[in-house]
Amino acid sequence: MRYLILSDIHANREALSAVLSFVRRKHWDKAVFLGDLVGYGANPNQTVDMVRKLKPLVAIRGNHDKVCSGIEEGELFNRVALQAAMWTRGKLTPSNLRWLRSLPEGPMIVDGEFAISHGTPIDEDAYIFGEIEALNVFRQTSFPLCFFGHSHFPVMFGLTPDAIHTVLSVAPSFRFKLRPGARYLINPGSIGQPRDGNPLASFALYDSDSRTVSIHRVPYHVEQAQSKILQAGLPRPLADRLALGR
């Protein structure tokens, strides 16, 4: 099976459109979404509609999906994130609000092949930035392979009996074959708001037969996404950071 792994779209229609047209030429069997479909960007309904049309689809919720759909009130959000979440809540159609509210909490096992989580498989709101957090997750779980999001940073952590390894790809297209006996925590990066200093939309494909993960970076109309954010009256830093990838 070939899985299309998508995360942290954040209502960025331009970025999601670019990724979906990029994969139109590629073969995939199932879309897997790791949470944060909305929040920050100016096209929440359009991006929810686009993801709802992906079939077959497995999806879990992210922290922004919870606040934007009213499951939580965002007490821990910063001012900019909260302002965007409340704007999004007011814009979502009743159908899309209901759909977002129905997204399950991770972790979830997909086809008996791998796990998915938004933050970590222990706490959907917690981050995995580096090897210490990754090691803690490896020790408290037993998943051989887990895809996660939330940090907006494409990265792979591999655990062997001897050590933990980090693979940080900076290539526009990067392939990695999973080693037998090793365990992995893999972030495909963010489609709608990358934070690794590279503004290109980031996503992954996973081939469970060859056990190969590829992470792809795709250019999109950043200026268009930025001008929509400003036209919507959303905070300027949300537009500025798209060009910086931070």
The least distance separating Fe ion from the CB of residue 116, rounded to whole angstroms, comes to: 14
- How far is residue 73 from each of residues 64, 93, 152, measured CA to CA in Å? 10, 19, 22
- How far is residue 234 from each of residues 35, 76, 93, measured CA to CA in Å? 21, 19, 19
Rank residues 178 and 242 by Cβ distance to Fe ion and give the closer one: 242
Stretch that binds Fe ion, among 28-36, 129-137, 173-181, 223-231 (CB under 5 A): 28-36
Q: What track of x and - describes contact with Fe ion for positions 6 through 25 (by CB under 5 A)?
A: --x-----------------
Stretch that binds Fe ion, among 3-11, 47-55, 176-184, 209-217 (CB under 5 A): 3-11
User: Does 196 help bind Fe ion (rule: CB under 5 A)?
Assistant: no
Interface with Fe ion (CB under 5 A), residue total: 2
- Residue nearest Fe ion, Cβ-based: 36
Phi first, then psi: what are they for 21, rounded to 5°? Answer: -75, -30
- Helices and strands, number each (H, E), in the chain: 8, 12
Beta strand 114-117 pairing with 145-148: parallel
Q: Residue 93 corresponds to which amino acid?
A: T
Residue 232 DSSP SS3: coil
Stretch that binds Fe ion, among 14-22, 35-43, 72-80, 124-132 (CB under 5 A): 35-43
Give which of 131, 149, 148, 151 is closest to 139, Cα–Cα: 131
- How far is residue 76 from each of residues 8, 67, 125, measured CA to CA in Å? 18, 10, 10
Among 4, 16, 20, 36, binds Fe ion (CB under 5 A): 36
Stretch that binds Fe ion, among 29-37, 66-74, 119-127, 217-225 (CB under 5 A): 29-37
- Rounded-to-integer distance, Cα 16 and Cα 14, Å: 6
The least distance separating Fe ion from the CB of residue 63, rounded to whole angstroms, comes to: 7
The least distance separating Fe ion from the CB of residue 132, rounded to whole angstroms, comes to: 21
Rank residues 119 and 158 by Cβ distance to Fe ion and give the closer one: 119
Rank residues 8 and 14 by Cβ distance to Fe ion and give the closer one: 8
Residues lying near Fe ion in the complex (CB under 5 A): 8, 36
